[in-house]
Structure 1
Amino acid sequence: MKKIVSLFLVILFWDPIVSCAQSRKIISQFQDIQGYFNPSLVGYNGTELKSVVRNQWSSLDRNPKSLYLGADLDFANLNGKSDSNVEGKNAVGFSLFSDSHGAFKENQFLLNYSSRIRISKNANLRLGAGVFYQAVRLDGNLLTFEQQNDPRLSPLQGRVSDQQFLDLNLGIALTHANYYIGLSSQRVNSGRISSGDDFIDLVPREQIIQAGYRNSITPNMKVTTDFMFRTWNGGKDILDMNFRVLFKDAFWIGFGHRFDYASSIQTGIQIKKLRFGYIYEIPSISSDLLSGNIQEFMLSYTLFNK
Structure 2
Amino acid sequence: MKWQNAIRDYQLYLKIERGLAKNTIESYSRDLEKLTLFLTENEIDFTPISIDAVTVKEFNYAIAKKINPRSQARIISGLRSFFDYLVFEDYRETNPTDLIEAPKIGRKLPDTLSEDEINELISAIDLSHPQGERNRTILETLYSCGLRVSELITLKISDLFFEEGFIKVTGKGNKERYVPIHFNAQKYITIYIAEIRSQLKPAKSFEDTLFLNRRGKGLTRQMIFTILKELAVKINLNKKISPHTLRHSFATHLLKNGADLRAIQLMLGHESITTTEVYVHLDTSYLKEVVENYHPRK
Place the TM-score, normalised by the shorter chain, in its bin: under 0.3
TM-score (norm 2): 0.22
TM-score (norm 1): 0.22
Report the structure number with the largest CA radius of gyration: 2
